[in-house]
Amino acid sequence: MFKQYLTLIQNNAEFRYLWFAQVVSLFGDWFGTIATVILISRFTDSGVAVGTLFVLRALPLFALGPVAGVIADRFDRKKVLIVSDLLRVVIVLGFLLVRDGSLVWLIYLLTVLQFSISAFFEPARNALLPTLVNKDELLVANTLSSSTWSAMLAFGAAIGGAVTGIFGTDTAIVLDALTFLVSAASVMQITRDTRPVRDEAEIGGGWMDMIDGFRYVLDRPRIGVLTLTKGMSQVGTGDIMIALYAAHVFIIGEDGAITLGALYASFGVGAILGPVIGNALGDESDRFLQNFILVGFLVMPVGWILYGAAPLLPIAMIGICFRAIGGSINWVYSSVLIQMKVPDKFMGRVFALDFSIFTLMMAIAVWGTGFLIDTLDIDPRTMSFYLAAGHLAPAMLWWYFISNRNLAPAAPDFAAAGQD
């Protein structure tokens, strides 16, 4: 089953460098995530405080997304990745300055700075990936990329939770910063021309590039639908629910660090399984990818029901795993469809819009969940059942798109989107 993924890594050195950079930086990311969540939980006792942290991780990605897309479509994408990594080394080390509750504001400030830089990284990486592989390798490359995110979530969260619980948050923060250095060194090894393909006649001001990107999506409703898919999955996010379960439901380890790591690890396992199962059951056709996204939307509420009803931590781990299976299916397959349909000159801007919508919806979901729990005194278990019910709406909406709006290969504007 995994031979095709190993073959891609072994035979394509350019993709291997990009993939390895992702491996090490994501491994460090989960150390940083656990460390900052623990710092917030240690110095405050509020669902809104934790929710605010995740909102501030998401809003820069939304606000700067259009600008980041223009950068990814105008400048050498390799250089964008390297500069982003090096800047984040310095920013992440700043978390070491947080020593008491009076400096909680610094966690928020540094989080905004870190994810403002990350806003430029993701569109450039997503736009660069299809230029490093053949068209028939796109599904495998995206599945591997998503599975790597998931594996590093599972492995990094488990190790990060243990290391943070034993050695403290300072160790986790330093390790996070070092991984960005290794990531930059790996990207430097890419030798292929990583500058975006552009027609000289089309090169204008950055503002016009941004407008052209929006116009491209608005003129192609079915591409627009694909950019909404990840955001539609964010009725409830795992981040705040995992943090709340670690702090209030299953408290294992210092400040719930072991529980936090275990739940994030389970989420990572589920995110690995989603597209791997899909790839084993189907093919790379538009119809299968679209239909299996519907499966993803239906699996997510099942996960929330299990999560809310869990009498023991292992059952909660299974529930959050199911939630991740559905979300990863939607993430990978919507990304593949975008890469198949959108020309290179618009790729960065379309992915920036895609990621911006996702982060906006995630921020609303995270803050809204924390707000409801704090103001209405809803316990985390009950909130899980509300999230399960809420996921039925995007599932029905996606079913409407693929059945009544004819999101099929034969649809004229959808099929032509990658030919402009």
CATH node for 12-190+209-419: 1.20.1250.20
Helix (H, G, I), strand (E, B), or coil: what is residue 92?
A: helix
pLDDT at 112 over 60: yes
Q: How many CB atoms lie within 10 A of CB 419?
A: 7
- Helices and strands in the chain, H and E counts: 18, 0
Distance of alpha carbon 302 from alpha carbon 194, whole angstroms? 42
Backbone angles phi, psi at 168, to 5 degrees: 100, 170
Report H helices in 283-376: 286-309, 313-341, 344-375
Instruction: With beta carbons less than 8 A apart as the criterion, state whether 363 and 58 touch.
Output: yes
pLDDT at 413 over 60: no
Instruction: Identify the H or E element spanning 164.
Output: helix 138-167
The token pair at 332 is 């990978």
Give burial (CB, 10 Å; 0-12/13-18/19+) of 45.
Answer: exposed
Residues 13-43 have pLDDT tens digits of: 888 999 888 888 777 777 888 888 888 878 7
Q: Side chain identity at 200, as an amino acid letter?
A: E
Helix (H, G, I), strand (E, B), or coil: what is residue 7?
A: helix
pTM of the model: 0.66
pLDDT at 91 over 90: yes
pLDDT at 411 over 60: no
DSSP 100: S
Q: So where are the chain's domains?
A: 12-190+209-419
Residues 332-368 have pLDDT tens digits of: 888 888 877 777 777 777 877 787 788 788 778 877 7
Residues 226-257 have pLDDT tens digits of: 888 888 888 877 777 887 788 778 777 766 77
Q: Is the dihedral of CA 115, 357, 230, 196 positive or negative?
A: negative
